[in-house]
Structure 1
Amino acid sequence: MHSNDQSVTLAELQAHRNWLRRACAATDELGERVVDPDLFYRPGPASEADAKEVCTGCLIRETCLAYALGSHGAQEDGVWGGLTAAERRVRRRHERKRRARLASYGGHRPEPVANWSPSPAQATLLKALAEEPDLRAAADTLETPFANVRWVFAQMCEQLGFYPDELTESELVETAAERISGTDTQGPELGVAA
């Protein structure tokens, strides 16, 4: 049984004439399949990379991914929407954590600090992340315990109005730069996804 959103997504996919053959993007000018659909189900990093490359040019990639993510595990094999089964499991787990976080915060996101500017520790971390967007690498570069770097990162996310696990390192650097330069003075959109 599909949810309403899942049924809409399935209808969009079924409207694409090659989707049922799992060759959504891989057609020539006559609409003939040019990639073996089994490519999406072959195990191994090389085959997965080839399948992901086919997905890169697909017009319905996001719809296909939404279908695979929303199928409650029914699409556990193969590459769907450019993600492997393992990557989809990580995405689903992240979504469950996000929903639990929303519930624990009472559905409210952290309030962005008006006229935010980074503390010296935050500025140092931002510089390290701008060079290499990885918290562990930043901890090594700064010769600081990872837990301290993670705490400064989380503090900065909350001061900018985001949950600590909502931003990647690159997104934090970009968001902080926008706030510092004054191009984004509001923080995140305050709409809450269910």
Structure 2
Amino acid sequence: MDEDYPERRHTAYHEAGHAIAAIKTPRGAVEHIDICDRNNNDAESGGTNCSSVTADDAFRVYGGPWAHVKFYRPADALTFYDVLTCIYANNDDQDLFIHYAERDAEIFTAETFEDWHERADGVMSAAWEAQEVQNLAEEMLARAKKIRLSNGQLLIRDSWRDRWVCKDFVPAPEEGKGLVGPLPPFNH
């Protein structure tokens, strides 16, 4: 494993964003976070498996690209299109976001998503201001043996790679209102 691959830092921030978005939701939880360099075998460089109520599934996806963009532009207020551009650059995030949006990729408008983005951005901006995203990313980059998340979950580092696992992961129930809520419906 190349421990200093060029995208390592932004991978850590991206995956931290997914994890923080998940734990901000009602009963959201992280199963594992992985920032290893897998470019040599499957063209990915990280992954986060987490859970939230179904209403917040899109927000969980959005959190990673939001943190990714914020890492590069920490002083900027982010727009829906700023984050959407990053979603489009990641096949996994794009596929999931389009699935949760229940629409084709071409049918995204800022007006349709303005209220939803404001709610999502508000949650992520508060976590950024509290240094939650940055602290989680930096702990992973430092290869901390244990990471305690703000929801109380304890993640333990897998010694074989840069992966942190929650041994007592309990998935969120599917039903519930959620924090940010589902993406706006698509009206044909």
| TM-score interval (norm. to shorter) | under 0.3
Structure richer in helix, relative to its length: 1
Q: Which has the higher contact order (CA 8 A, sep 6+)?
A: 2
Structure richer in strand, relative to its length: 2
TM-score, normalised relative to structure 1: 0.24
TM-score, normalised relative to structure 2: 0.24
